Structure 1
Amino acid sequence: MLPSPFPVPPFANECKTYAKNSFGASFQHPFVLALADGSLDPKLFRFYQIQDAKYLESFSDACAILSTKVTDPEDKLWLIDAARMALVVEGQLHIGYGKTLGYDAKTIAETEPTPNNLAYQNHMVSAAMKGTVLEGFSAIAPCPWLYIELGQHLLREKGSIPEDHPYASWLKMYSDPGFNDYMTHLLARLEKYANLSDQATRQRAKIVFQQSCNYEWMFWEQAWTLQNWPSR
């Protein structure tokens, strides 16, 4: 369990502790280690980036669905902004690498999600649509949380990111302290809805959080193995 670069309220800490093995596993995945040291095969990174763009469409959907279930206008606006940010801000990273690695919006649109990716997407959207608001927030929280902690952890480990690092843009994006504010607001809302929930709902939310952490590891794995459907 690494020190967090942003405040972690009590329920968020319970979730992370509950899912600590799943959460921590991503830090040691060979894809992540190769990405950090720059040795990752560009073919694998291209595969990952395209699948990530597909994933972010469903992350945006989950945020948008949650925005229809909350009644607090500030929470509604935050979720709408989060849905937009997933497509616009992170999309800029995909556009930049797309020029280098040879893919564009049409490539992304025509690419089928891998089994692991589709399962993760369905998990998030299902939690947002069928679960409580708390379960919806628990499903979306691990992705930005893990990426931000991972990015800043890698920056601490490396000290600085060389300009000639092949994945410098990715590392710089997720090590940017500006993301800490995003997580502070997300976890504050997770805490708010946890405080409004009974113990059974809180327990279900922790399970949902852990499942998302498992899917995060599986997302690295699908890129590392160039996962495809069995019939292909």
Structure 2
Amino acid sequence: MTGFCAQAWQHTARLQQAMLDLRFNTELSDGVLSRERFQFYLVQDARYLVGFGRALAALATRAPEVDDVAFFAGAAREAIVVERELHAGYFERFGLSQRDVEQTETSPTCLAYTSYLLALATTGSVGELAAGLLPCFWVYHHVGSAILARQATRASGAPENPYRAWIDTYADEEFGAAVASCRDAVDRTAAAAGPDERARMLAAFTRATEYEWLFWDSAYRMESWPTKGLR
């Protein structure tokens, strides 16, 4: 792999490894993550996907190549329809009612991440927006694939991981193909950009990757607003 995406991945290599080492992901991999933490994560992720889908839709309207218009428009639909179906299945499996979902407040990190992406959609260039959206694809596939590989080393007869459906979704080859399509679009955009634009793209990719780390960390902590008692 060469080009901008290879540079961006190398630039964030320490963050990518730190992502795998987060307690949320190691405990999810071992199947021992608490139900409460996963429930909290699911609600925040469902909220995030709405903003993510809107940012993807905005990118679809601005992408210069027709194939990229189709890809990002399709990805926006996937974020809203397909992944929400996965969440709905988990809501049911883990006993989350619609009332439980509605009563869970959007966390500071979730709000900050979605606001950042929507700000890129409003004020950023096409390259910045594409680079800022890429980590959600790429990091999830990276983490899902790493966890799946770790699952293969588990002892025979070990209990089924209750989070296996989540793992399979993001380690899936079809999802991997979507990641590759997104990388190709970002690489083409970067190749046509000047040095200043590529620097802004790298900054957007890095910041979004940081938000991915923060999102899982905040889910493990079941982050709430420290000012809640002051309202």
Once residues 65 and 98 of structure 2 are traced to their aligned partners in structure 1, the CA distance between those partners, rounded to angstroms, is 35
Unmatched 5+ residue regions in structure 2?
none
Which of 150, 157, 174 does residue 157 from structure 1 map onto? 150
Q: Does 1:219 align with 2:223?
A: no
Q: Structure 1 residue 72: deviation in Å?
A: 2.4
Whether contact under 8 Å (1:9, 1:188) holds in the other structure is no
Moved more, 211-220 or 104-113: 104-113
Shift of 1:165: 1.4
CA displacement at 1:78 relative to structure 2: 1.2
Residue aligning to 1:229: 225
**Total equivalences in the alignment:** 225
Map 1:57-206 → 2, pairs under 5 A: 57-104=50-97, 107-108=100-101, 111-159=104-152, 164-206=160-202
Q: CA RMSD in A?
A: 1.7
Q: Which runs of 5+ in 1 are unaligned?
A: 1-7
Q: Which moved more, 1:164-173 or 1:108-117?
A: 108-117
Secondary structure at the aligned position of 1:103 is classed as: coil
Kindly state the Cα deviation for residue 104 of structure 1 after the two structures are TM-superposed: 4.9
Contact map agreement 1:23 1:214 (CA 8 A) in 2:
no
Paired-residue identity, %: 30
**Cα 1:123/1:217, change in 2 over 3 Å:** same
The answer to whether the Cα contact below 8 Å between 2:54 and 2:76 also exists between their aligned partners in 1 is: yes
Secondary structure of the 1:102 match is: coil
- Provide TM-score, normalisation by structure 1: 0.91
Displacement of 1:105: 5.4
Structure 2-normalised TM-score?
A: 0.91
Q: For residues 181 and 106 of structure 1, do their structure 2 counterparts lie closer, same or farther at Cα, with a shift above 3 Å needed?
A: farther
Greater shift after overlay, 173-182 or 163-172?
163-172
Tell me, yes or no, if the aligned pair for 1:128 and 1:137 is still in contact at 8 Å: no
Secondary structure of the 2:165 match is helix
